[in-house]
């Protein structure tokens, strides 16, 4: 009897795992199947032409470039804060100090705050500062979203670093600041993983840029101009009643999915350099 139960549950469990795998394949498959026929070079090399939203010529270069601008701006902004912060709570403060635990707890909560709340807060902040929907607004809001992601995953790597290295450096007479500079080199693969994860989350999120970055058919040339983003471009094209435009939404979805796949696998590559695999 108990052997029978064992077998039944083993099959159910394998079934559950296979269904999850199947759903992933189903999602990626659906996107590719629907989008491939409309995926052309024009999609990624041209900005929307005159009749783009009626199904005529053009592509989504504006959205691709806009997304890239925003994510790199946000990345720069959040790196400036994340790296020193993680170094501080790990290597300046003594291990297990109350303050670093409080900071970590706050990061955990910030990580869970929905992107739409960041979007609403970012917009309120922009109104307060008198900034219109623009590249600047998008960069600031996306930076708020990806900062906790970056800090948390970088912190996880930093915590795993053996204590020998910092201790050796300190005993050689280095100041903590000099010590951190050496440690950072050691932690580079971990930082790269954290950055790639943050890019993946930031580039795919629509709710943060919905009100803060605006939307335009042109490639922005200054920080005060609005910028299109890939997720929003997919969303708007999908809302069109014209079939060609909807098909282009699927093609744009392939572009976004490809970006995410590449980011995810490179993040995995860098983290496998640093960590023994988890799960």
Partner 1 sequence: MRKLRIVKDKTARLLMLGFAIFTIMFLIVIGLSLFFKALPIMREKNLWFLLTSSSWKPFKGDFGFLPFIVSTIYVSLIAIFIALPFSILTSIYLNSYASKRIRRFFEPVVDLLSGIPPVIYGVWGTLTIVPLISNKIAPRFVEFSTGYTVLAGGIVLAVMIIPLLISIMVEVFRSIPVVMTDASLSLGATKWQTVKKVILRKSFPGIIAATVLALSRAFGETMAVLMVCGNIPQIPKSFFDACYPLPALIANNYGEMLSMPSYESALMFAAFLLFVIVVLFNGASRFTLNQIEKRYQFS
Range 218-277, binding partner 1 (CB under 8 A): 231, 234-235, 238, 249-250, 253, 256-257, 260-261, 263-265, 267-268, 277
Of 9, 40, 45, 273, the residue at the interface with partner 1 (CB under 8 A) is 9
> Hey, which residues between 134 and 153 contact partner 1 (CB under 8 A)?
144, 151
Which among 56-64, 69-77, 114-122, 153-161 is the span making contact with partner 1, rule CB under 8 A? 114-122
Pull the structure tokens for residue 11: 């099959």
Among 116, 161, 184, 223, binds partner 1 (CB under 8 A): 116
In b/e form, how buried is each residue of 158-188, taking b as 16+ CB within 10 angstroms? beebeeeebeebeeeeeeeeebbeebbeebe
- 53 contributes a contact to partner 1 by CB under 8 A: no
Interface positions, 83-102, toward partner 1 (CB under 8 A)? 84-85, 87-89, 92, 99, 102
The interface with partner 1 within residues 184-203 (CB under 8 A) comprises: 200-201, 203
Q: Is the dihedral of CA 51, 52, 54, 56 positive or negative?
A: positive
Distance, CA of 202 to CA of 216 (rounded, Å): 19
Q: Which of 211, 248, 246, 217 is nearest to 63 (CA)?
A: 217
Q: Rounded to the nearest whole angstrom, what is the least distance from the CB of residue 4 to partner 1 in the complex?
A: 10
Cβ nearer to partner 1, comparing 173 with 221: 173
Other C-beta atoms closer than 10 Å to the C-beta of 77 total 17
Stretch of 57-65, 161-169, 170-178, 185-193 lying at the interface with partner 1 (CB under 8 A): 170-178
- CB 133, CB 126: distance < 8 Å: yes
- The answer to whether 36 contacts partner 1 (rule: CB under 8 A) is no
Query: With CB under 8 A, what is the number of residues at the site for partner 1?
Result: 88
∠ Cα 31 35 40 (to 5°) = 145
Closer residue to partner 1, CB minimum distance, 69 or 250: 250
Q: How far is the CB of 235 from partner 1 (least distance, A)?
A: 6
Task: Please enumerate in sequence order all residues whose Cβ is within 8 A of that of 61, keeping only pairs 6 or more positions apart, or say none.
Answer: 44, 45, 46, 47, 219
């Amino acid at each position: 009897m108990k052997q029978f139960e064992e077998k039944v549950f083993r099959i159910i469990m394998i079934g559950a795992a296979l269904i999850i795998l199947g759903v992933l394949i189903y999602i990626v498959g659906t996107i590719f199947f629907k989008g491939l026929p409309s995926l052309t070079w024009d999609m990624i090399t041209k900005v929307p032409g005159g009749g783009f939203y009626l199904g005529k010529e053009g592509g989504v270069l504006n959205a691709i470039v806009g997304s890239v601008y925003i994510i790199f701006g946000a990345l720069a902004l959040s790196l400036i804060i994340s790296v020193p912060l993680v170094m501080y709570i790990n290597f300046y403060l003594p291990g297990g100090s109350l303050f670093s635990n409080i900071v970590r707890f706050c990061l955990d909560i910030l990580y869970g705050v929905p992107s739409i709340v960041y979007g609403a807060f970012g917009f309120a902040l922009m109104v307060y500062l008198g900034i219109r929907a623009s590249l600047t607004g998008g960069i600031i809001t996306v930076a708020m979203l990806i900062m906790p992601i970056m800090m948390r995953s970088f912190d996880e790597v930093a915590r795993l670093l053996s204590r020998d290295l910092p201790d050796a450096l300190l005993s050689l007479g280095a100041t903590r600041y000099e010590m951190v500079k050496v440690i950072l080199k050691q932690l580079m693969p971990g930082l790269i993983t954290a950055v790639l994860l943050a890019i993946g989350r930031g580039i795919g999120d629509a709710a943060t840029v919905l009100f803060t970055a605006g939307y335009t058919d042109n490639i922005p040339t200054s920080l005060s101009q609005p910028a299109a983003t890939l997720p929003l471009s997919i969303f708007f094209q999908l809302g069109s009643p014209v079939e060609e435009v909807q098909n282009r939404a699927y093609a744009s979805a392939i572009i976004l999915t490809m970006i995410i796949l590449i980011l995810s696998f490179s993040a995995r590559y860098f983290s496998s350099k640093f960590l023994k695999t988890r799960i």
